[in-house]
Amino acid sequence: MPASGPHSCAGQPKKAGSPDFSNSSALPNIIIMYADDLGYGDVGCYGATAIPTPNIDRLAREGLQFTNGYAAASTCTPSRYSLLTGSYPWRNERARILPADAPLLITPGTVTLPSMLQEAGYTTAVVGKWHLGLGDGKIDWNGELQHTPLDIGFDYAFIMPATNDRVPCVYIENRRVVGLDPADPPLEVTYDQNQPFPGVPTGKDHPELLKMKYSHGHDMTIVNGVSRIGYMRGGTSAWWKDEEMAEVLLDKAISFVSEQRDRHQPFFLYYAFHQPHVPRLPGPRFAGATKLGPRGDVIAELDWCVGEMLNALDRLGLAENTIVIFSSDNGPVLDDGYVDGAVELCGDHRPAGPMRGGKYSLLDGGTRVPFILRWPQRVAPGRRSSALVCHTDFLASFAALTGMLPHLPPEAAPDSCQVLPALLGETETGRRELVTEDTAARTLLRQDNWVYIPPYPGPAVRRHTNIETGYLSEPQLYNLDADIGQQRNLAAAYPQKVKEMAERLETILAGERTRDGDAC
């Protein structure tokens, strides 16, 4: 039991005048810890043996582990968009993998998970990977940024603008790039292939300067010995060191939580890790932590960050009434553009667990992800749930938890199901239906344990990354109950089921809102 376990702070004296978070009527704090490209099978409690993840496993032991927990998409931007807005990403045609200088994808004024929680009295923060666009057109990286997380519901932001393989390789705190020196030339960024900055070394022209070589893409500006996507120059005092990123972000995340300790308000923290996305460069103490090379090592580092946050909650006496969720934005990939041994050293490790496909894919390995919820005060520890739940559902579910659901405007969070009873382990019935999408925003329908994938043209295996796409010129129908590995296409055997699900998917894609329909 976490309440009486060795890490629990139950029984420790509370500071005078501090809020009593053990009072069961107080709204819980909420922390979403969100990994980047972590597969279902990469975590010990989901079956991994080659990578030690004692802290994520601890979370599962003390909480509820979902076996049918989904991201809305098999890539980052659309998944995160869906988590924050409660909307299926395919409703917004811009919700695709974005460069860092793309305009903010979420229009200020949209109801978001953090803005809803702000209304409910929460202090809200994002720390880590953003990748949802910034600004509203042209960005001056040296000035005060507009259209940032602060404009869509976050009170505090410490972010990496896009991904760790995309420029600009700088952190942004609230509205400013961190660590710019006025004596440096201004920071400039472009993704225009035809406009590289003259004189700034690229991976393509100066491979001898690289400490990690690229395998595909990633041949532009060199930062910290690693060439990236996009070009950047100036503002060099602000450029990050990848090996320090885990500690930099962890420090900001823990500082935010610590600062909330003595405030009479609940908090929401969206802590978005950069691991195990490429380039994989662990801090020195995790280099060599596994036999799987950098990919395994950064997962061990990620796990350590999770543990440090759990320990901080214990120390601060906040563990009991804090909901901690751990999940991932999409499924796994081995070679995602750098030569880091991920493929060669993988051995028997199965990053997607028993599933087919991975990142970018329509197959289940693309979107079924580790998904754990711990709330010692309310959720029984050490259980598993097969309820179908998706990150998209957090908005309506936490609106229900905080009394905000009746106040959501009808157009808000159109695809967010109120599945709070499932999230809290009170039932194993989650949503009935779920639409997920791949990197090209091609969709599929899941209904109970059935998956229908429409016919799509295109290669069966994605180039470079070597991941099955899920594309087939015929319809695909799988029953995940009996066939989690999607090995037996039942479409020919169940033509009526195929017809019904195809029609249903069409109806949803034509605009039917999920939130008040039968899907939930």
Which positions touch Ca ion (CB under 5 A)?
A: 36-37, 76, 329-330
96 binds ligand NG6 (CB under 6 A): no
Binding mask 31-50 for ligand NG6 (x = CB under 6 A): -----xx-------------
Residue closer to ligand NG6 by CB (options 216, 264) is: 216
DSSP annotation of 185:
P
Instruction: Take residue 481 and report the two structure tokens written for it.
Output: 């109950």
- The answer to whether the Cα torsion of 283, 285, 290, 293 is positive or negative is positive
Piece of 25-33, 113-121, 210-218, 371-379 that binds ligand NG6 (CB under 6 A): 210-218
Piece of 4-12, 41-49, 216-224, 379-387 that binds ligand NG6 (CB under 6 A): 216-224
Q: By CB under 6 A, what part of segment 352-411 binds ligand NG6?
A: none
For residues 302 and 276, the answer to whether their CB atoms sit within 8 Å is: yes
CA 285/CA 326 separation, integer angstroms: 23
What residue 80 binds from ligand NG6, Ca ion, none (CB within 5 to 8 A, per partner kind)?
A: none
What residue 278 binds from Ca ion, ligand NG6, none (CB within 5 to 8 A, per partner kind)?
A: ligand NG6
Instruction: Take residue 374 and report the two structure tokens written for it.
Output: 């711990």
CA 141/CA 188 separation, integer angstroms: 7
CA dist 102 to 95, 328, 358, 495, Å? 11, 23, 26, 43
Shortest Å, Cβ 232 to Ca ion: 21
CA 16/CA 86 separation, integer angstroms: 39
Shortest Å, Cβ 435 to ligand NG6: 19
Binding residue count for ligand NG6, defined by CB under 6 A? 17
Instruction: Take residue 184 and report the two structure tokens written for it.
Output: 């440096």
> Mutual orientation of helices 394-401 and 76-85 as an angle, nearest 10°?
30
Piece of 152-160, 215-223, 247-255, 340-348 that binds ligand NG6 (CB under 6 A): 215-223
CA 8/CA 313 separation, integer angstroms: 9
Of the candidates 258, 268, 338, 270, the residue with the CA atom closest to the CA atom of residue 298: 338
What residue 204 binds from Ca ion, ligand NG6, none (CB within 5 to 8 A, per partner kind)?
A: none
Among the listed residues 57, 101, 165, 301, the single contact to ligand NG6 using CB under 6 A: 165
Q: Residue 106, SS3?
A: coil
What residue 163 binds from Ca ion, ligand NG6, none (CB within 5 to 8 A, per partner kind)?
A: ligand NG6
Among the listed residues 179, 207, 217, 341, the single contact to ligand NG6 using CB under 6 A: 217
Kind and range of the H or E element at 433? strand 433-437
Among the listed residues 55, 68, 75, 221, the single contact to ligand NG6 using CB under 6 A: 75
Residue closer to Ca ion by CB (options 278, 505) is: 278
Residue closer to Ca ion by CB (options 32, 117) is: 32
Binding mask 276-295 for ligand NG6 (x = CB under 6 A): -xx-----------------
Residue 409's CB: how many other CB atoms inside 10 A?
A: 7
Which residue has tokens 């100036």? 234
Residue with the closest Cβ to Ca ion? 76
Kind and range of the H or E element at 383? strand 383-385
Convert 363-382 to b/e letters by CB count within 10 Å (16 or more is b).
bbbbbbbbbbbbbbbebebe
What residue 131 binds from Ca ion, ligand NG6, none (CB within 5 to 8 A, per partner kind)?
A: ligand NG6
What residue 219 binds from ligand NG6, Ca ion, none (CB within 5 to 8 A, per partner kind)?
A: none
Among the listed residues 219, 320, 336, 468, the single contact to ligand NG6 using CB under 6 A: 336
Residue closer to ligand NG6 by CB (options 232, 278) is: 278
Question: Parallel, antiparallel, or unpaired: how do β-strands 267-272 and 123-129 relate?
Answer: parallel
List residues binding ligand NG6 (CB under 6 A).
Answer: 36-37, 75-76, 97, 131, 163, 165, 216-218, 229, 277-278, 330, 336-337
